[in-house]
Structure formats: structure tokens, C-alpha cells
Amino acid sequence: MRSASLFAGRRALISALAATLVLFSAGCGGGEKPAGGPEAGAPPKAADTIVIGEYGSMTGAEATFGQGTHEGVMLALEEINAAGGVLGKQVVVKDYDTQGKTQEAGTAVTRLITDDKVVAIVGEVASSLSIAGGRVAQQMGVPMVSPASTNPQVTQIGDMIFRVCFIDPFQGYVMATFAKDTLGSKKVAILYDQASAYSKGLKDDFVKAFTAGGGVISAEAAYTAGDQDYSAQLTTIRDGAPDAIFIPGYYTDVGNIAIQVKKLGINAKLLGGDGWDSPKLAEIGGTAIEGGYYSNHYAVEEARPEVAEFVKKYQARYGRVPDGMGALGYDATRLLVDAIGRAGSTDGKAIAKALAETKDFPGVTGSITIDAERNAQKSAVVLEMKGGKPVYVATVKPPGAADAAPPAAPVAAEGGAVPAPNAPAPTEAAPAKGAPPAGPGKAGKSGAP
Amino acid sequence: MTRLLQTLLDGVAVGSLYALIALGYTMVYGILRFINFAHSDVFMLGAWVSWALAMALGYSGVGAEIPWFAPALVLVGSMAACGLLGFLIERLAYRRLRSAPRINVLITAIGVSLLIENTGQLPALFGTQPQRMPALVPDLNLATLAGVNLPLVDVLVIGVSVGLMLGLEFLVHRTRLGLAMRAVSYDTRTAALMGIPVDRVISFTFVVGSALAAAAGFLNAAKYPGLNQAAHPTWILLGLKAFVAAVVGGIGNLRGAMAGGLLIGLVELFGAAYLSPHLRDVYVFVLLIVVLLVRPEGLLGKAVKEKV
Amino acid sequence: MRDLASRSAAHVPPLGRALLTSLGPVAAGLGLAALLHLATPSLGGFYTKVLMDVGINIVLAVSLNLVNGFTGQFSIGHAGFMAVGGYVAGSITYYGGFALFGTAMVEPGLFTPGALLFAVATLVGGLAAALAGFVVGLPSLRLRGDYLAIVTLGFGEILRVVVQRSGDVVSAGGDAATAEAVRAMPVTDWFTQVGGSLGFNGLPFHTNLFWVWTAVTAVLLLSARLKSSTHGRALLSIREDEIAAEAMGVPTTRLKVRAFVYAAFFAGIAGSLFAHEVGTTLNPRELGFQKSFEIVIMVVLGGMGSISGTIIAAIVLSVIPELFRSFSEYRMIAYALTLILMMLLRPQGLFGVRELWQLGPFARKGAR
């Protein structure tokens, strides 16, 4: 019996050591393999390619964000490489899935920089994750361009972090103005996601803008992403009899909330931000989300020629219409590669400098100029959920924008509160009203949410 | 008044779901004396299998034909599938460990739980994204009292839960099989000596518990159609609260589980409505700790002296 | 027959040997830690991070082994104590940094004032976690059975929700403004303004290989010495048969609580190291029962009661997620299957209760 246990013990010992050794050596060697799997005609490493990193939520509750962005990124890269790449080299992307978790975001960026040795990074969409990843990128001196994070804190991390979209102080202003002027809402209730920097910040910005214009916030309630039951919060909201409910969350929860709003018989318009932008919103929210309005970065029906061309290319490549994330991913990648070209090198600081100097870069989502806070000065569009699809309603420019390109005429304008004739009103009225609260994006830092 | 009635309604509905899940926990604990951590995943699968069935039968999409028996069909299908799953789990994972130290079985249960969650998220199965459960129950409002709607769905949830619980009561207290179950939970070895096929009774217990959890999953999906993906912590949290219900009611005690479930549902909803909705998860666990400190055997449980 | 005094005196080892066996391991551990720290530049960012993660996981797993392994209890709230330690230490380095130095991002290192603050903060974090361990452990360890598992789960959840409700991290845009704001705050606010659901952002990156592996040394020394001491043997007896141990006069509740508190202390230390690492954020949702499960799995796979087994399991399970990052969906499934198979086929884990050096050719007669 003793020998049996001795033998068993020795076996266990040897196998344990062997396993550990194998894993360690595999681990050390594994770092060099491009983890996308062995590719027969793999592009020659390092010397002939420029590697940029991407991190996004490919799985999880915000999966369409990461997937949409990724499609935009790949489309851009294919075009760029077909045209010869940049600095004489082809551009390759290495991407990691953050699963919607901040921990994974930090780890992904760390790995991209230290192991995959990327020269720059595109990502993320969710602001909380961009903040987590951005801190690492800033610490290690690698420039990062966020396609769609709108919380001001993201670029406040440091001089290596940029974004190609507008920020929430502006977005809050857009929806507040839309609610007040176009929908005529006097009382608005808020239901926001306390687990998301984006939702919290956008909520604060909306409240500031709405109350500054004389509106009243009848109730403010919070949920945590992933919750099922909102009855407690909605009952409180119902008591206040609001004209509209502002739900600055992500599409999965918004869909569920809309269903319960309807169930509780609350007759209020639903408003939201760019977190709504996903083909899954209508799928989850069904008829309950019909008639909801949200601000976004671009609309498929916009009359600008770049948009139509992009939609055509995207549809040919992927067989469906691009959402905001696809467009922003596309723009972010093209801007990043353009900056690398302008910098003339892959040095982090040089790229960051080139990014900071970006002026009037033609993007699908609008002309991109990077301001002193490393944010993009852009207009927003307001979309309405109609027939299970987002439909363009209006464009709102950042207040004080000099060039007055006429707002594109909405394609289908009918019914109740759709403001076809009113579309120009928020635009023109804005500069006349003087600097809106918190002066979104322009001079001076917007106050931290 | 409106708020009181609304909260009461929601509390009872949610509570009955907790009760159904708690029954599974308590039955397994009564017989095998261990906490089946994988039970919350059976509940999750009940919801997802219902979704898959509804999609496969063509009930989704605008203008789909939904026959009147659709909910019953999907419910039964889901219960059958999950009952089978429960049987397999017991047979493959737990049976060999019946005489092992308790920790081993607990760890195995955790392993099974992780396995189910992550397999469920595979693209081949349910995928990593949330989905919408097709509305099998018409969106009718049965009544409105003092401003509070009484949707058909809620009535269904409460009705089916109560029906199943009554069925279980009948099974356990009025049939021979139930007698066998009670005997095995009282003293396994003596029951075996009396000629009761212990293995089969245990398997049956798992099947029944899993079927109830599946029913809870279906009802949950009917009430909250936005299904979170399989590995989402929300499912585990719900299962955990149901487990707390079983403990509060007296673990091993069927009526305790039902009462506990109802109590937990009401505590959670009333706490959320009248105290703070942000702390809704906390109320349940605070109740747990209070009960464990004051009356660890649970409200309806009996303190068991351990014989050496 | 010599008298008792001289016989017992014969067992006292000579001073030299005594010093060697007592201080030797300490010196060796610190030496290794210092060596690793000096090797950091040549290791590169990625491997440094891996080594730090491995070290932190070792601290977590070995400390949990005190409770789950030695004492045979089933605690699944370890991540909760990690969170307590992390948040308390983070509050001190962040707000303390602003109050004392005017900025949170002070120079990290070994002997800088920032590092000193970090060390103090980590210790305080550990003590806070130990206190939490005492509060949680005392009522639940009085009872036998699975109650500890339930209570620790519940504790973890309550903590998560409470932290999610905390206020925003004070950050007024710029060090000077923030420092002013911080100095105007009451000290108690340091611990309530920790970022809530958004996580505690802005913590300085103090964690380096030296601190991590010093903590590893500490926890290993404690564990190994405990195991072969009277206290440790009493814990093992509780695991084997609690009623018999009680009958033998072992103060079971007191010892169980003590082991629990030690474990919580080190979890707190690990939490602080985790919080100040590059690329990690303290986030209440990600320090919940799932993280606790991961630590439990390390202890179980290594063999509950075996320190070396736990170390190996911690190393393996820290490295694997990185290896299989591309196949992450299958990784968790493989994980789960391994766990189940392990329990069915080799429930005692890798080494059972024995240590690496007690196996095979090294097994002594009757060694345990």
C-alpha cells in the first residue's frame, strides 16, 4: 500500500511539474504567435507591417457595439491597405474582446501594448471601459482613439487619449433642447444606469441643460445594468406624471425598460442617447420602443454624399446597413492611420501630436476637427424609432459653430411631434441663446460630471 | 394606495418565482444535505430553452401565428428538457460523490454551474447576446384597481406557480412516491433497508426540482422578456436569492421554501419601493443574516441535533 | 537518567542553526522579491504583469487555503475581503496622496515617500479586511455546516451593493484643485467617495514585483509555520472531525475565527496590491462571487491543505487565461470540465494534504 501511494505521489509530482513546464514554455512562446490562429500566408511580421490594436466588447450585453465598431475598422483597413497602406507598409489590426468588463479592458490594452507592441489603439465604445484602458495607454505612452466614448473623463486622462465623437455635455444639451423645444416637454423624469460612467455623466449633463432652460425634473431614479425589474423606479416615476422619460442607458436595458414602461401604463415619450444605437434595440424593445427619440452620431438617411457612399460600401461588404458604431469605427481607424502618415513615424508622441493637429478631416460622421481637449467638434442627429428602425429627424450643431451647412432635410416627415419645419430651430436658436450651460466642447473644460 | 397595491402584486409575482426555485434547492438539501449550486443555472436554462422552443416553433416575429396553447406547450417542453438535464447532472456528476466529503460535492456543483453557463453562451447554443423572448401570452390587462394594472402575464405567473406548488404538495404528501421521498430525506439508510429504491427516488427528486426551476425560468421570461446571456451574473443572483428564501424558510422544508420565497419577494419589492431601489439586493441578504443569527434553522425549520 | 532540564536543553538548537531556520526563509523570500524587482526592465511589461498577477493570486489562494484547506470550512466570500482591503488602501493612497503630497500620482518605488504611503495603506487595508473577517466570521463560525458558505456569499453581495452606492471619486480636474478639495474634506469622506459602480479610477501604480513577492513570502511563511504548529494541527483536527476536536478540548470557534481573520488580512493585502496594479480597476461588480469562485478553484485543484499544491494551481490558473485569450469561450468550459473531472477522479486535488516535498522519494515514514 505504501508503494502504491508513493508511486501515485511521484506520478502526481512529475505530471504536475511537467504540466507546469509545458505551460510555461508555451506561455513564453505563445506570446510571439499572432493569436488569430496560424495563417498559411500570414503577412510577414514587424518589419513590413504596422500593427494597431483594437479592444471592444465582442460579447456580452453591449456586443453589438464592439462588433459594429470592428466591422467599421476592418472596412477602413481594407480600403487603406488596398491603397498602399501607410508609410509604405500594410496596416494590421490585433483585437481583443473586453466582454464588457473593465478588468478585461485594462488587461487587453496592457497586453496590446506590452505583448503585441501596437503603435496605437482604437477603442473602446463604453466610456467606463475606455477610461480603464485609457489609463494604461496613457501610462505607457501609446496613443488611443476612442470611436464612440462620450464621457468627458475619457480624454481628460491625458495627452495620449483622443476621440472622434462628441462629448456628453453636448449630447445632454441636444436632447434637453429637443425635449423642450421640439417635443414641448416641461416635466421630464430620469432613469439612468448607475453602473456606467456614460449613463451617469449624460444624465448630469441633460439635467443641467434641461433645468437651465426652465424645465423641471420630476424624478431621478437609477438602475444597475442587467437588472430585470424596474417596477419600483417606474412606479415612482409614474407618480410624477412626466411628459417624457430620459433613459441614457445602453440598448439592452433600454429595451427592457421600455416594455415595463408600457406595462405600467405610463404615457410619456422616451428619450435617450447614443447608447440606444443598435439593431437590437427594436428587437428587444419591440413595440414599446416605438416613438422613442435618441441622439446619435450619424443617420443612414443623411443627405451628405460621404454617408451614402459609406452605406453602400458597408452594405456590399457586410450585407446590412451600418449603425453609428460602424461609422465611428471606420472614421476612427481612418483618422488614426492618417495621423500616422502625417507624423511620418510610429512614435507614440509623434502620432499623438499629429492627432492633436487634426483639422477638418472628412469623416462619415461629419467633419472632424480635434480641439484642445482632444475631442471632436461635431454635430449630432436626433433619430426616432419608427417601424422598428431609427429614422432621421433633425441635426443639431454645436452652439457657436461658424459654418452653417443647412441641416439635411429629414427624409420622412409626418405625424405628431416630428419637427420637419422645426429642424432648423434648435440650430439657429442655439447661438442666439448665448453660450448654453457648460459650453460643450468649446472653450474651457466642461465641469466634470 | 396605488403604490401599495402595485408593490404587493409585483412582490407576490416575483415571490412565487423565488418559491419555485427555492423548492428545488430545498428538496435536494433535504435528501442529500448539500447545496446544489447548479440549480440557478437550471433556472436560467429554463428561460433560454423556452426562448429556443418559441423560436423553433415559429412564434417570434411580427404577425406570427400564436395558438392559444403556445404558452402551455413551451412550458411543458422546457420543464421536460430541464427535468432531463437535472437527471443527467445527478447521474453523472453527483451520484459518485454521495459518500464524499461535502466540500467535494459543492465544488462539483460549482463546476457544473460554470459548465452550463459557458456552454449556454456558445454561438451554437444561445450565444453571447441578450435576446427577446417572444410574447406568447397576449398583452391583455385583466383589471385595473386603483390605478394598478393587472396584466394577464402576472396572473399567469402567480397562477401557474401556485398550481405547481399545490401539485408538489399533493405529490409529496398524498402519493407513495412522495412518501418515499420523505422517507429518504428523513433517514436514507433506513429507507433503503425498507426496500425503497433510494437511487431512483433521488433521481426523481432532481427531476422534479429541475422541472420546477424550468417553470420558473419560463415564467420569468414571460414576465421579463429581455433575456440576459447565459453567463450573466443576474441569473446567479436570482438563484442566490431563491436559495436565501429556502434557508429563511427552513432548508429541507417544502412549505418553508414556499413561504420563504413569498417572503423574500415581498421584502425585496417593498424595500425597493419604500426604502431605496438601489439597495434592493441588500434587503434579502440582510434578512438572511438576521435569520441565521436569530433562528438558524429557518422560520419553519426544526433545529436538528447532530448525533455523533 | 539525566534530569529534565538538561534533556530538554539538548533539544534546543544551537543559535546559528536557529537563526538560519527562522530568518533564512525570510531573507530568501525578500531576496527573491528584490531580484525580481531588479529584473523588471529586462522582463518587459507583459511578463512583469503576468508575474504580478501570479503573485497576487498566490497570496489570495494560499490565504484562502487557511480557511478552506486547513480548517475545512467553505468560505466563498474571499473576494469581498479583497475588495475591503483594496478600497481602504486605495482611499488612503489616493486621498492621502493629495492631502500629503498634493498629487495622487507620486513616484512609485521602494523607498520613496509615495511607496511608504502605499506600504502603510496596504497594511491598513489588510487590517480593515481582518476586522471585516472578524465581524463576518464570528457569528457564522459558531454554527456548523454550510452556513459559512451562505453567509460569506451574502456578505460579498451586501458589500458589492453598498460600494456601488458610494459617491464619486473627488477629481476636480487637475492636481492643484483636487488637492484643495481633498484637504477641505473630512477624513471619513475618503472612504465613502470611492467611485461607486464606475470603479475607483485614478489610483497610483505602486504595485511592483518587490511588493507582490514580499507579500507572497509573508503569506507562505505564515502558512507553512502555521501548518506545523500546534495551532495548525488544531485546525487540521477541526477539519477532520469537528465534534471530536471539540471533545478533545480544542476551542473550535475561537480557532476557526482566528484562521478566518488571518485569511481575510492577506486577502486585504492582495486587494491593495491588485488595486494599485497597472491595468486593473477596483470595481465592485468584478470582485463578487465569481472572483471568489476563481480563488476557491485554485485551492481545490491544488489540494485543500497543501500549500505547494495551491501555489502550483495558482500559477497554472493565472497563466492559462492569458494563453487562451483567443479561445476564451472554450477556456471557461475547459475550466469547468477540469473542475468536475478533478472532483470525480482525484478529489484531493493535486497534492491532497501533503506538500510537494513530502511526495514520492521524499515521503518519510508516517509523514503527514
Whichever domain contains A336, its CATH number is: 3.40.50.2300
Q: Which of A232, A263, A280 sits opposite B129 (nearest CB)?
A: A280
Q: To 10 degrees, the CA torsion angle through A230, A235, A241, A246?
A: -20
Q: Min CA distance, B131 vs chain A (Å)?
A: 7
| pLDDT at position A445 | 38
Q: Min CA distance, B43 vs chain A (Å)?
A: 15
Is there a single domain that holds both residue A175 and residue A159?
no
pLDDT in tens, A389-407: 899 998 888 876 544 333 3
What SS3 class is residue C62? helix
Dihedral angle sign, alpha carbons of residues C291, C292, C297, C303: positive
The residues, any chain, with a CB within 8 Å of residue B71's CB and separated by 6 or more, are: B136, B137, B156, B222
The residues, any chain, with a CB within 8 Å of residue C191's CB and separated by 6 or more, are: C87, C88, C91
Has residue A5 been placed in a domain?
no
What SS3 class is residue A237? helix
| pLDDT at position B98 | 84
Give me the interface pTM, i.e. the ipTM. Answer: 0.82
How many structural domains are present in chain A? 2
Bridge partners of residue B4, in order along the sequence: none
Least Cα distance to A234 among B130, B271, B7, B158 occurs for B7
Q: Check if the beta carbon of residue A368 is closer than 8 Å to that of residue A398.
A: no
Q: Which of A227, A284, A286 sits opposite B130 (nearest CB)?
A: A284
Residues of C with Cβ-Cβ distance to B233 under 8 angstroms: 285, 288, 290
Amino acid letter, residue C245: A
What SS3 class is residue B151? strand
Mean pLDDT, rounded, for C63-71 = 90
Distance separating alpha carbons of residues B198 and C226, to the nearest angstrom: 43
Least Cα distance to A85 among A117, A42, A49, A112 occurs for A49
- What are the grid coordinates assigned to B70, written together? 403556445
Mean pLDDT, rounded, for C181-199 = 82
pLDDT in tens, B226-241: 888 887 888 888 988 9
Q: Min CA distance, C271 vs chain A (Å)?
A: 14
What SS3 class is residue B19? helix
| pLDDT at position C20 | 85
Indicate if the pLDDT at residue C301 is higher than 70: yes
Q: A286: which DSSP letter?
A: G
Cα-based angle C35, C37, C39 (whole degrees, multiple of 5): 70
Is there a single domain that holds both residue A131 and residue A259?
no
Domain that holds residue A276: 169-296+380-443
Q: Which of A35, A101, A447 sits opposite C286 (nearest CB)?
A: A101
Distances in Å between the Cα of C78 and the Cα atoms of A224, B47, C262, C318 are: 23, 31, 12, 17
Nearest residue on chain A to C357, alpha-carbon basis = A13
- What are the grid coordinates assigned to C329, written together? 469561450
Mean pLDDT, rounded, for A56-80 = 89
Q: Do C165 and B278 touch (CB under 8 A)?
A: yes
Q: A245: which DSSP letter?
A: E
Tell me the helices (H) and strands (E) count for chain A, helix number first. Answer: 14, 14
Has residue A15 been placed in a domain?
no
- The Cβ of residue B90 has, within 10 Å, a number of other Cβ atoms equal to 23
- What are the grid coordinates assigned to A420, written together? 420637419
**Final residue before a domain boundary, out of A312, A334, A364:** A364
Q: Do C158 and B286 touch (CB under 8 A)?
A: yes
Q: Check if the beta carbon of residue A91 is closer than 8 Å to that of residue A52.
A: yes
Mean pLDDT, rounded, for A2-12 = 40
Amino acid letter, residue A177: T
Is there a single domain that holds both residue A393 and residue A276?
yes
pLDDT in tens, A276-298: 998 889 888 888 999 999 999 98
Nearest residue on chain B to C240, alpha-carbon basis = B101
Distance separating alpha carbons of residues A90 and A100, to the nearest angstrom: 30
Is there a single domain that holds both residue A345 and residue A263?
no
Q: Which of residues 310-339 of C touch B (CB under 8 A)?
A: 329, 332-333, 335-337, 339
Mean pLDDT, rounded, for C28-53 = 85
* Touching partners of B (3+ C-beta pairs < 8 Å): A, C
**Is C142 part of the contact surface with chain B (CB cutoff 8 Å)?**
no
Q: Do B115 and C151 touch (CB under 8 A)?
A: no
**Is C301 part of the contact surface with chain B (CB cutoff 8 Å)?**
no
Q: B301: which DSSP letter?
A: -
| pLDDT at position C302 | 85
Least Cα distance to B121 among C227, A132, C215, A63 occurs for A63
Residues of B with Cβ-Cβ distance to A227 under 8 angstroms: 234
| pLDDT at position B180 | 93
Residue A124: asked if its preceding bond is cis (omega within 30°), the reply is yes
Is there a single domain that holds both residue A276 and residue A424?
yes
pLDDT in tens, A174-226: 999 999 999 999 999 999 998 888 998 999 999 999 999 889 999 999 888 88
Block residue for cell numbers 459518500: B99
- What are the grid coordinates assigned to B46, written together? 429554463
* Touching partners of C (3+ C-beta pairs < 8 Å): A, B
Comparison of pLDDT for A358 and C353, the residue scoring more: A358
Indicate if the pLDDT at residue C364 is higher than 90: no
Is there a single domain that holds both residue A402 and residue A264?
yes
H or E segment at A363? strand A361-363
Least Cα distance to C168 among C268, C94, C273 occurs for C94
| pLDDT at position C275 | 93
Q: Min CA distance, A67 vs chain B (Å)?
A: 11
Long-range contacts of C170-178 (CB under 8 A, 24+ apart): C170/C95, C171/A448, C171/C202, C172/A448, C173/A156, C173/A445, C173/A447, C173/A448, C175/C98, C175/C102, C175/C103, C175/C104, C175/C105, C176/C102, C178/C98, C178/C104
**Is B11 part of the contact surface with chain A (CB cutoff 8 Å)?**
no
Would you call B69 exposed, middle or buried from its count of C-beta atoms within 10 A (0-12, 13-18, 19+)?
exposed
Q: Check if the beta carbon of residue B246 is closer than 8 Å to that of residue B25.
A: yes
Residues of A with Cβ-Cβ distance to C351 under 8 angstroms: 12, 16
- Where are the alpha helices (H) located in chain C, listed in sequence order? 4-11, 15-64, 78-101, 113-141, 147-164, 175-184, 209-227, 230-240, 242-247, 252-275, 289-302, 307-323, 328-345
* Touching partners of A (3+ C-beta pairs < 8 Å): B, C
Q: How confident is the model at residue C322 (pLDDT cuts 50, 70, 90)?
A: confident
Is there a single domain that holds both residue A275 and residue A397?
yes
Distance separating alpha carbons of residues B81 and B89, to the nearest angstrom: 12
| pLDDT at position C361 | 63
Distance separating alpha carbons of residues A419 and A396, to the nearest angstrom: 12
| pLDDT at position B135 | 84
Q: How confident is the model at residue A44 (pLDDT cuts 50, 70, 90)?
A: very low
H or E segment at A103? helix A102-114
**Is C278 part of the contact surface with chain B (CB cutoff 8 Å)?**
no
Is there a single domain that holds both residue A317 and residue A431?
no
Distance separating alpha carbons of residues B92 and B87, to the nearest angstrom: 9
Is there a single domain that holds both residue A139 and residue A187?
no
Q: To 10 degrees, the CA torsion angle through C93, C97, C98, C99?
A: 100
Q: What is the 3-state secondary structure (H, E, C) of B166-221?
A: HHHHHHHHHCHHHHHHHHHHHCHHHHHHCCCCHHHHHHHHHHHHHHHHHHHHHHHH
Mean pLDDT, rounded, for C111-131 = 92
- The Cβ of residue A11 has, within 10 Å, a number of other Cβ atoms equal to 12
Nearest residue on chain B to C163, alpha-carbon basis = B279
Amino acid letter, residue A12: A
Distance separating alpha carbons of residues A344 and C83, to the nearest angstrom: 45
What's the whole-model pTM score?
0.82
Has residue A81 been placed in a domain?
yes
Question: Taking the CA of residue B240 as centre, how many other CA atoms within 13 Å lie in the half-sphere pointing to its CB?
Answer: 25
pLDDT in tens, C245-280: 989 999 988 999 999 999 999 999 999 999 999 888
Is there a single domain that holds both residue A267 and residue A388?
yes
In Å, how far from its chain's centre is CA B197? Answer: 26
- The Cβ of residue C280 has, within 10 Å, a number of other Cβ atoms equal to 28
Indicate if the pLDDT at residue A36 is higher than 70: no
Q: Min CA distance, C64 vs chain B (Å)?
A: 14
| pLDDT at position A434 | 36
Q: Do C337 and B115 touch (CB under 8 A)?
A: yes
- What are the grid coordinates assigned to A99, written together? 466582454
Has residue A370 been placed in a domain?
no
Is there a single domain that holds both residue A315 and residue A178?
no
Least Cα distance to A113 among C246, C88, B289, C48 occurs for C48
Comparison of pLDDT for C283 and A191, the residue scoring more: A191
Bridge partners of residue A93, in order along the sequence: A52
Residues of C with Cβ-Cβ distance to B243 under 8 angstroms: 150
Which of the residues in chain B have pLDDT under 50?
none
**Phi–psi pair at A216, nearest 5 degrees:** -120, 135
| pLDDT at position C145 | 64
- What are the grid coordinates assigned to B157, written together? 405567473
Is there a single domain that holds both residue A147 and residue A194?
no
